[in-house]
Amino acid sequence: MLRYLIRRVIGVIPVLFISWSLIFFVLQLTPGDPVNLMLAGRPASEEVRENTRRLLGLDKPVHVRYINFLWKAVRGDLGDSYRTRQPVITEISAQLRPTLELAAGGLVIGLLFGVSLGVLSGIRPNSWWDTGAMVFALAGISMPSFWSAMLLIFFFGLKLGWFPIVGEGLPALVMPAFTTGFFLVGNLARLIRSSILEVMTEDYIRTGRAKGLGHWKVVFKHALRNAMIPPVTLLGVQFALLIGGAVITETVFARPGLGRLLVTSVLNKDFPMVQALVVYTTSAYIMLNLIVDVLYSVIDPRIRDARSV
């Protein structure tokens, strides 16, 4: 087990290294003089421009900057924002909480509705319940989140006035959480349904039934528990979808957060900020997937063995 863990953790290092390098070089390709961006259009003497250039380390050749970037990134220093001239980490940490709240809200909605719909249709396949739940799930994965957000705002925010559109606290989180979670609802419901259908054909279920256990007992004691494993392990992948959802949701609801920060930084050409945000989300994503893998291998050792082949 320990060997597996060590191997997986070491395996992540080159992936992180390459992805950070990729981000660095991709942003080097970008047209535009960083000095101009840093000065944000301020009139500046040649001296000031040279100072800024030195400050940004642009007087050094690319490979030196690259090594500097990696060395600093490892220690958590990703430079200063062109726009605010503050360390990027300041703004990122300020906007981390609202995004985490949103992601958590989306996850709660997704699990709550996704699991119940999936179970509902899984244990009663081809019923009206099933059809209804699957149509709903299909809508969930097919609806562009900016459209569902606008519909929610229009009907529940503006027309009915049930939920606040902006603001802090739980009530204001309801509609954004639904927007972000809707996709997850659809995805999870479909996964769980097919997982249950598959489990129901397994031998031990049949054995259980043959032994005279009640239908519901079989369903709840055996089928559900086993059917949950594959969808839950996909939660790592779902995280990426939540991030994608956050970009849109935060923009429509004018919520602060990392997603909106990413979009405005791209539009503002604030490259240190873009670089830092991509480095962090990518690293978080990779690490999360690693954790899920490791946890899963604890639950089900077959995975570990299969991967080591």
Partner 1 sequence: MSVELVQQTGVSSAKPRWRKVVRQLVMNPGAFIGALILLVLVFGALFAPWIAPYDWNEQWVGPRLAPPSTDHFFGTDRFGRDVFSRMIYGGRFSLSVGIATVLFSMIIGSLFGVFIGYTGGRVDHFGVMAIDVMLGFPPIVLAILIVAVLGVGLPNVVVAVGIAGIPRFARVVRGATLAIKARPFVEATQAIGAGHFRVMVWHLIPNVLPTITVLATLNLAGAIISTASLSFLGLGAQPPTPEWGAMLYQSREFYRFAPWNMIFPGLALFLSVMSVNLMGDRLSEVLDPRVSKGH
Partner 2 sequence: MNLRSMVLVLVGLMFVTGAFAQDGLTVIWGEDRADHATLDPRVTQSRHEEQMILQIFDQLIAQDENGNIFPGLAESWEVSDDGLSWTFNLRRDVTFHDGTPFTAEAVKFTFDSIQDPELGSQGAIDILGPYDSTVVLNEFTARVNFRRPYASALTAFTETELSIVSPTAVRELGNDGFARNPVGTGPFKFVEWEAGLRVVLDRNEDYNWAPEFYNNEGPSQVERVILRFIPDASTRVAALEAGEINIADLITPLDLLNFESSDRFVGQAANVAGLPFSIMFNTTRGPFQDIRVRQAFMHAVNRPVLAENLFFGFADAAYGPLSASTPSYWAGVEELYGYNPEGAMALLEEAGWVDTDGDGIREKDGEELSLFFPVLLEPDTAVAVQGEVAKVGFDLKVENVLKARQDELIFANDYDLLVIRWVSNDPGVLIIPFHTRNIPAPGKFAFNWARWSDPTLDQLLEDAEAATSPDERTQLYEEIQTMIMDAAIFFALHNQVQMIGHTSEMSGFRFAPGNWQVRFYDVSAN
- Say whether residue 87 binds partner 2 (CB under 8 A): no
41 binds, among partner 2, partner 1, none (CB under 5 to 8 A by kind): partner 2
- Say whether residue 268 binds partner 2 (CB under 8 A): yes
Q: Measured on CA atoms in the order 77, 83, 85, 86, is the torsion positive or negative?
A: negative
240 binds, among partner 1, partner 2, none (CB under 5 to 8 A by kind): partner 1
Question: Pick from 4, 79, 83, 193: which binds partner 2 (CB under 8 A)?
Answer: 83
Token pair 């605010």 is at which residue? Answer: 84
Cβ neighbours of 300 (radius 10 Å): 13
Provide the minimum distance between the beta carbon of 38 and partner 2 in the complex, in angstroms, as a whole number.
Answer: 10
Question: Pick from 44, 151, 172, 235: which binds partner 1 (CB under 8 A)?
Answer: 151
Interatomic CA distance for residues 202 and 219, integer angstroms: 12
Provide the minimum distance between the beta carbon of 286 and partner 1 in the complex, in angstroms, as a whole number.
Answer: 5
Interatomic CA distance for residues 16 and 279, integer angstroms: 9
Q: Are 35 and 52 in contact (CB under 8 A)?
A: yes
- Say whether residue 131 binds partner 2 (CB under 8 A): no
User: Residue 45, CB half-sphere, CA atoms under 13 Å: how many?
Assistant: 2
- Say whether residue 150 binds partner 1 (CB under 8 A): yes
Q: Are 83 and 34 in contact (CB under 8 A)?
A: no
Residue ranges in the chain assigned as alpha helix (H): 2-28, 34-39, 46-55, 62-74, 88-123, 128-142, 145-152, 170-200, 203-210, 215-218, 224-233, 235-252, 258-267, 271-299, 301-308
For residue 184, the one-letter residue type is L
Residue number, 76 or 171, with CB nearest to partner 2: 171
Query: Residue 165's closest CA among 150, 146, 182?
Result: 150
Query: Residue 95's closest CA among 242, 256, 250, 249?
Result: 256
253 binds, among partner 2, partner 1, none (CB under 5 to 8 A by kind): partner 2
Q: Are 106 and 174 in contact (CB under 8 A)?
A: no
Question: Pick from 2, 13, 170, 267: which binds partner 1 (CB under 8 A)?
Answer: 267
Question: Pick from 158, 166, 298, 306: which binds partner 1 (CB under 8 A)?
Answer: 158
Interatomic CA distance for residues 309 and 305, integer angstroms: 7
- Say whether residue 94 binds partner 2 (CB under 8 A): yes
x-marked contacts with partner 1 along 225-264 as a string, rule CB under 8 A: --------------xxx-xx--xx--x----------xx-
Question: Pick from 23, 78, 79, 91: which binds partner 2 (CB under 8 A)?
Answer: 91
Query: What value does the CA radius of gyration of the chain take, rounded to a whole number of Å?
Result: 24
Axis crossing angle, helix 235-252 with helix 88-123, rounded to the nearest 10: 120
Question: Pick from 110, 157, 176, 208: which binds partner 2 (CB under 8 A)?
Answer: 157
22 binds, among partner 1, partner 2, none (CB under 5 to 8 A by kind): partner 1
Query: Residue 130's closest CA among 217, 192, 80?
Result: 192
Strand locations in 239-288 (E): none
The size of the interface with partner 2 (CB under 8 A), counted in residues, is: 43
Given the rule CB under 8 A, which residues bind partner 1?
14-15, 18-19, 22-23, 26-27, 29-30, 125-126, 138-139, 141-147, 150-151, 154, 158, 194, 239-241, 243-244, 247-248, 251, 262-263, 266-267, 269, 271, 274, 277-278, 281-282, 285-286, 289
Given the rule CB under 8 A, which residues bind partner 2?
32-33, 35-37, 39-45, 47-49, 82-86, 90-91, 94-95, 153, 157-158, 161, 164-167, 252-254, 256, 260-261, 264, 267-270
